[in-house]
Amino acid sequence: MRNITRLSVFALVLICLWGMYSAPLQARASGLSFETEQLVFTVQDSLWLFDGDFGFYNSGLRELDQAIYFPVPANETQSPADQVSVVIGEQQQSLPVFGVSPQGFWFQLSMQPQSYETVRIRYQQVLRENMASYVLLTALTWGKPLAYASYSLHLPKGARLLHSPFAEPEISAQDGWNSYYWEFYGFVPEANFEAGWEF
């Protein structure tokens, strides 16, 4: 019985890994590339609010219809994603979200040939401690640096950042928030986005 349980866990891990890596590999083969990301993280009460814009380019000569896996870390300090929203383009057209699990979800991306589109993803997580994380390293599976990446972290006024995801942020304080900002060109992540703070 114990061996069956171990086999089941092993199979589940393989499925999750395939989900994380197969979508970018299939996308690259079809002409889809991941170009930019502009992410905003906000800590509000006990919530981790995520708002991200992701730039995709379809270099193919055919219309693309591709499932994309979006990982969301969930553990003892932060809950699974809730109130997930995925929209595309200036008209904010909703994209189908499916396969939702505690560690992420899939969305269906459709693009015209030779086109660039911005996908906006939003969700929130409940925090149980003054720390949170976001998966950056899966960007490596797309096989090239991000042309542009920016990351903003907003903490309530009075909070002090203890652990920074990157060095030397631009820091500002306004409207009741302490804000930290990082900007990169030709960005290759070396670690996931992890932050810790105290009040």
Mean predicted lDDT score pLDDT of the chain: 87
In this prediction the pTM is: 0.84
Burial class of residue 140, CB neighbours in 10 A (0-12, 13-18, 19+): middle
Q: Which CATH number fits domain 2-198: 3.40.50.720, 3.40.50.150, 2.60.40.3680, 3.30.1360.120?
A: 2.60.40.3680
* Rg of the chain taking only CA atoms, in angstroms: 18
Write out pLDDT tens, residues 84-117: 999 999 889 999 999 889 899 999 999 999 999 9
Output the CA–CA distances (angstroms, integers) from residue 177 to 48, 149, 159, 166, in the order listed: 14, 22, 9, 19
Map out the domains of the chain as residue ranges: 2-198
pLDDT at 129 over 90: yes
> What pairing do the DSSP bridges indicate for beta strands 32-44 and 146-156?
parallel
- For residue 85, list its beta bridge partners: 122
Write out pLDDT tens, residues 8-50: 333 333 333 334 444 554 455 468 999 999 999 999 999 999 9
Write out pLDDT tens, residues 57-69: 999 999 999 999 9
> Is the Cβ–Cβ distance between 153 and 179 less than 8 Å?
yes
**Given its phi and psi angles, is residue 174 left (phi above 0), alpha (psi -120 to 50 degrees) or beta?**
beta
Q: What is the pLDDT of residue 30?
A: 67
Instruction: Print burial letters for 179-188: b (CB count within 10 Å at least 16), e (below 16).
Output: bbebebeebe
